[in-house]
Amino acid sequence: MKVDMSAKAISARLKLVSQLRRLCLSLAKAKEISPEEKQVKSELLQKSVIYPSTGSG
């Protein structure tokens, strides 16, 4: 199996590693939320997907 060592491929892999690192650091800082808070956030998310803000008002 050959690994693409072009500058573009290396940059893409470095970008991916950077994103994964940020995700891991965020997850390490995260705390568990209560079931009630989870329900409220879920409902808010569903409303924002169904009725997205237009940003004009």
Structural domain range at position 13: 7-50
- 56 assigned to some structural domain: no
Quote the CA–CA distance of 39 and 47 in Å, as a whole number.
12
Quote the CA–CA distance of 31 and 37 in Å, as a whole number.
12
Quote the pLDDT of residue 18. Answer: 97
pTM, two decimals, is: 0.54
Quote the pLDDT of residue 16. Answer: 97
Do the beta carbons of residue 39 and residue 47 sit within 8 Å? no
- 17 assigned to some structural domain: yes
pLDDT digits (tens, 9 = 90+) for 45-54: 888 776 656 6
pLDDT digits (tens, 9 = 90+) for 7-43: 999 999 999 999 999 999 999 998 888 888 888 888 8
- 26 assigned to some structural domain: yes
Do the beta carbons of residue 41 and residue 33 sit within 8 Å? yes
- 36 assigned to some structural domain: yes
Local structure of residue 57 (DSSP, 8 states): -
Q: Which residue has tokens 């800082």?
A: 29
